Amino acid sequence: MTAATTAIGWIGLGKMGEPMAEHLLAKGYSLRVYDLNPQPVQALVAKGAIACASIAELAAASTVVISIVPDDRVLKSVSEDVLANLAPGATYMDMSTVSPEASVAAGELARQRGVAYICAPVSGSTELARKGVLTVFASGPAEAYQQLETLLSSFAATRHYVGGEHQARYLKLAINHLVGSSAALMAEALSLGRKGGLDWKVMLDVMGNSVIASPLIKYKLDLLASRDFAPAFSAAQMRKDMGLVNQAGQNSGTHMPLAALVAEYFEAYAQQKPDNDFFGLVEAVEAQSDLPPLPRD
């Protein structure tokens, strides 16, 4: 599929979806867009997109429909509308972070309609979305995925094809489990260091040059040092994702007690400060440890 021959419909223009769709326009793709919020729709229309009044209108005019939506409930509604109107032989790719069960339901509808269904959850922050260097984990029919590789390269610098069914959903949740758990472990470790009298920035500097300094930890060091918890990925988003991780573990019979504990951490923190970065969880652990808050730089 080339930019000249592919009619794309894009559903979901939130913090991730809008910049991703913008990269497709910049690459010359014909793009129809739909979102309940008129502002990002208007912004993309100004850059060459075509606004659609409904999902049905968008799907009927597209050979490829892409959605990136908040949760299982929205995916169910959107996928039903898309697949009632998308022509057999077309492709539907969903890039949301949702449960494997919701994905299977959408995939079954697509199979009944004769539509290729690709799971392609995206990994990365809003900043990486703006830069067009996200990571995508994809699964579904191999031929359909291969036809979308060039399209995906418009906004995803790294792309992994991981299987013919819904494997991408499990990989995304497995990685999110590691990401959320890293924040929880870091919060506990830093609080323990403070209890032992360590200077905050000295502690961060040493940790950032130690064996535990993963790319994620290194990326979050400046945020932790300044105590500025403006979100690249919010606590509310991590609450949702860790809830999905915990539920996937239960539904699949996987022994994951740590997932349940981390999900509880984010459930509590997101009730207090949903819009903070998820690494702001350190504030909650400090409070529970009777440590006074540190000043921001």
Is 128 a residue whose pLDDT tops 60?
yes
- Over residues 156-180, the pLDDT tens digits come to 999 999 999 999 999 999 999 999 9
Compute CA distances 283 → 201, 219, 251, 263, 265, whole Å. 16, 18, 32, 16, 11
pLDDT of the residue at 4: 53
* CB-based burial, 209-242: b 16+ in 10 Å, e otherwise: eeeeeeeebeebbebbeeeebebbbbbbbbbbbb
94 and 70 in contact (C-beta within 8 Å)?
no
Q: What is the mean pLDDT of residues 40-48?
A: 97
Q: What is the mean pLDDT of residues 201-221?
A: 96
DSSP 79-131: HHHHHHHSPTT-EEEE-S---HHHHHHHHHHHHHHT-EEEE--EES-HHHHHH
Considering the entire predicted model, what is its pTM?
0.93
What's the rounded Cα separation, in Å, for the pair 248 and 227? 33
